[in-house]
A and B are shown apart, each in its own frame.
Chain A
Amino acid sequence: MNLAYRDIRHNLLRFVLTNFGLSLLLGIVIMITGVYGGLIDDALRQARAAGADLWVVEAGTNGPFAESSRIPGDTREIVSRVYGIERAGSVTYQSVQTEINGRPLRMYLVGFEPGRPGGPRRLVAGREILRSHYELIADRSTGLALGQDVALGTRGHTFTVVGLMQNEVTSSGDPVGYITLRDAQQLQFELAPPASRREKARGSQSEGNDQINAVIAKVSPSVPADEAAAALSRWKHLTALTQDQQETLLSKYVIERARKQQGLIMVLLVIVSAVIIALIIYTLTMDKVRSIATLKFVGAPDRTIVGMIVQQALSMGVFGYFTGLALVLVFRPYFPRRLVLDVESVSVVFLITIVVCLLASTLGIRLALKVDPAEALASSG
């Protein structure tokens, strides 16, 4: 005879309502876990999208994501000639903001050389960039459609969307777009007409636009990446970072504060959940004091009483967890940022929930064990 189950069945509505509230709380814990996972995944995805073995950036910088890096456009030629480098491509990175149908659209634009490393990883619709100017591949989260025109830059050049990607966003959640390197350099350095006229009036020499933020290099499988990086670093104006170093920079430093903040929120939510679960179990136990006293009087061992409370606590945790998970999965598409819920993190949250329930039930267990069997008599008048 399972007393915990019988009690739950007897108070089913109260159990369901209490657990629904708990599931909302656990849903938020799961959601924050997803946001946390998304933050890290987005950051790494940004670096992994390039498919690089080495990142060649300005000397003494941790560019191009952690710090700004600016190197001459012909650096790619130098990098390509180094022993062990198979392929190389120049890239630029910049944030832009424009308006689409009266709504602001922020985008993180990557300038790349078509046919060389640094381009979009996988398209879910449309095609690669084939023309040298004014074609754009954008992430779906921009809301842009294939064939749609977008005005970018100070001179309002019109770009046509030719390809769409999925889940390509930066660590801050901005969708990523790809254009040709030439277009990107033009957007980055070209002055607005009035500013350009003023510069000319001042007699200033127009500066060359052939600057890039990094060179992405693919290393031959027969050559260790570290060796190639060391060879590249012999140039005083360049620094070469391996892909692992770049990922460490992104996950440990670029998103460190956001990561810590979300981690802290998650810990706080777990603590709040523990307190709430403990209070619920304590209240449920309080309601059963007379029944517990009667059971003890009849001769129920402590393990029967403890078992009843622990089983109810675990039922609450399991019910709340899975309902919370279901709610998060249902509403996931409506979150402004990507939620990444991998099996590992979801399992960890489940284990934490179980541990929290067990710990929280100790308060109820303490109360139950303190109940004097004689209360069965006292309560009877």
Chain B
Amino acid sequence: MDAPGKQPVVRVEHLSKTFGQGTARVDALIDIDMEVYPGQVVGLMGPSGSGKTTLLHCIACILEPSSGRVTLDGDIVYDQRWLKADLRRLRLDKIGFIFQYPNLLPFLDGSDNVAVAMHLAGMRAGPARARAIELLNYLEVGHRKHALPRQLSGGEAQRVAIARALANKPRIILADEPTAPLDSARARIVMDLLRRIAVEQSAAIIVVTHDEMILDRFDHIFHLRDGRLESDVPAPAAALASPA
């Protein structure tokens, strides 16, 4: 899956993760290798318990791998005795995360839910709010900027969550079942949106999914089974849009 002339934004090398010891030891991930290039949308698929979420946690700097290496946008994570605060900063600056459910902060309205990520990154309130509104307009939910999460529909809330993930212009976007709570039409809209973001912002997007209806939206699909990478295949979308 090499993209000639480009450096991968996400590179995972010989990654393993085990939980417990002795008879209770579980090998959640075994010797995983993968690369994701700028502009690519890749799918991470596999049955429950196959290690998809664990892999996503390792890439998101939430979970430290037992062995192997993760390189995010040129930074080798964990290899350089990274402090917790450094990982948090890396997550804030370089990673955008889209949850299965929007996970919006219930006490902030639409625009503030987006602005909060920029506020945490140190941006001043005025510019943060202006960019939040710009993102909401881009995702076609600008008219809901003053609505609280409980006043938003599922699709609107998910788009606000996507706007939050994009707030700090991340190079890496991780999405955990982003289309699960949506009907197939809305799921396709969200996936098209992610494809557009990948191309326009030159971001690498990794999507964990079970939804076979959206397979044609991926450039590449990684299949996991029992913690191992079972297959690593180009998806139909790869033929439609090559990485930018």
B-chain residues with CB within 8 Å of residue A291 when the two chains form the complex: 105-107
Contact indicator B101/A381 (Cβ below 8 Å)? yes
Closest residue of A by beta carbon distance from B102? A380
Stretch from B5-13, B112-120, B227-235 that touches the partner: B112-120
Q: Is B53 on the interface with A (CB-CB < 8 A)?
A: yes
Q: Which residues of A contact B148 (CB under 8 A)?
A: 10
- Does A299 contact B89, Cβ atoms closer than 8 Å? yes
* A374 close to chain B: CB less than 8 A: yes
B152-180 CB contacts (< 8 Å) to partner A: 164, 176-177, 180
A379 to B60, CA, bound (A): 17
Tell which of B65-73, B91-99, B187-195 binds the partner.
B91-99
Across the interface, do A377 and B91 meet the contact criterion of CB distance under 8 Å? no
Determine if B103 and A7 form an interchain contact, defined as CB atoms under 8 angstroms apart.
no
Contacts A1-B112, A301-B85, A374-B63 known; A380 to B92 CB distance under 8 Å?
A: no
With A298-B120, A299-B88, A304-B120 known as contacts, the answer to whether A380 contacts B107 (CB < 8 A) is no
Q: Say whether B125 contacts A1, CB under 8 Å.
A: yes
Interface size, A (range):
20 to 34
Which A1-55 residues have a C-beta within 8 angstroms of B? 1, 3, 6-7, 9-11
Contact of B107 with A299 in the complex, beta carbons under 8 Å: no
- A244 vs B176: C-alpha distance when bound (angstroms): 77
B108 interfacial by beta-carbon distance below 8 Å: yes
Cα of A291 to Cα of B115 in the assembled complex, Å: 15
Closest to A5 in B: B107
CB of B186 within 8 A of chain A?
no
CB pair B92–A298 under 8 Å, yes or no, is yes
Q: If the complex has contacts A298-B116, A299-B89, A374-B62, are A379 and B107 also in contact, measured as CB distance less than 8 A?
A: no
| Contact string against B for A residues 263-303, beta-carbon threshold 8 Å, 1 for contact and 0 otherwise | 00000000000000000000000000011001111111100
- Contact (A299, B100) CB under 8 Å given A6-B108, A294-B105: no
Q: List the B side residues contacting A296 at CB < 8 Å.
A: 88
Q: Is B121 an interface residue (CB 8 A)?
A: yes
Nearest CB of B to A287, in Å:
10
Tell me the complex Cα distance, A296–B89, Å: 11
Query: Is B107 within 8 A of A290, CB to CB?
Result: no
CB contact under 8 A between A376 and B88, given known A1-B112, A300-B120: no
In the complex, chain B residues 57-89 whose Cβ is within 8 Å of any chain A Cβ:
57, 60, 62-63, 85, 88-89
Q: In residues 349-381 of chain A, which contact B (Cβ within 8 Å)?
A: 372-374, 376-377, 379-381
On whether the beta carbons of B99 and A380 are closer than 8 Å, the reply is yes
CB A265 to nearest CB in B, in angstroms, measures 38
- Tell me the total A-B contact number using a CB cutoff of 8 A: 81
Among B97, B104, B128, B176, the most chain A Cβ lie within 10 Å of the Cβ of: B97
Residues of B within 8 A of A294 (CB): 99, 103-105
Question: Which of B60, B101, B120 touches A380 (beta carbons < 8 Å)?
Answer: B101
> How many angstroms from the CA of A7 to the CA of B180 in the assembled complex?
29
The distance from the CB of A311 to the nearest CB of chain B, in whole angstroms, is 13
B176-A377 in contact (CB<8A):
yes
Chain B residues with CB under 8 A of A373: 62
Min distance, Cβ A286 to any Cβ of chain B, angstroms: 14
| Cβ contacts under 8 Å, B88 to chain A | 296, 299-301
Asked if B117 and A6 make an inter-chain contact with CB atoms under 8 angstroms apart, the answer reads: no
Residues of A within 8 A of B60 (CB): 297
Cβ contact within 8 Å between B91 and A297 = yes
Question: Quick check: B176 and A298 within 8 Å, CB to CB?
Answer: no
Instruction: Give the Cβ gap from A295 to chain B, nearest Cβ, in Å.
Output: 7
Taking a contact as CB atoms under 8 Å apart, the answer to whether A1 and B116 are in contact is: yes
Query: Residues of A contacting B106 with CB < 8 Å?
Result: 10, 291
Q: How far is the CB of B158 from chain A (nearest CB, A)?
A: 11
CB distance from A120 to the nearest CB of B (A): 61
Taking CB atoms, residues of chain B closer than 8 Å to A374 are 57, 62-63
12 A/B residue pairs, CB under 8 Å, sorted by A: A1-B112, A6-B108, A294-B103, A295-B116, A296-B88, A297-B97, A298-B91, A299-B89, A300-B120, A374-B62, A380-B176, A380-B177
Q: Which residues of A contact B (CB under 8 A)?
A: 1, 3, 6-7, 9-11, 290-291, 294-301, 304, 372-374, 376-377, 379-381
* Given A294-B104, A379-B101, 12 other A-B residues pairs in contact with their CB atoms under 8 A: A9-B107, A10-B107, A290-B103, A291-B105, A297-B60, A298-B91, A299-B120, A301-B85, A301-B120, A377-B53, A380-B100, A380-B177
* Interface positions of B (Cβ within 8 A of A): 53, 56-57, 60, 62-63, 85, 88-89, 91-93, 97, 99-101, 103-108, 112, 115-117, 119-121, 125, 128, 148, 164, 176-177, 180
The 3 nearest A-B residue pairs measured at CB: A299-B92, A10-B107, A380-B100
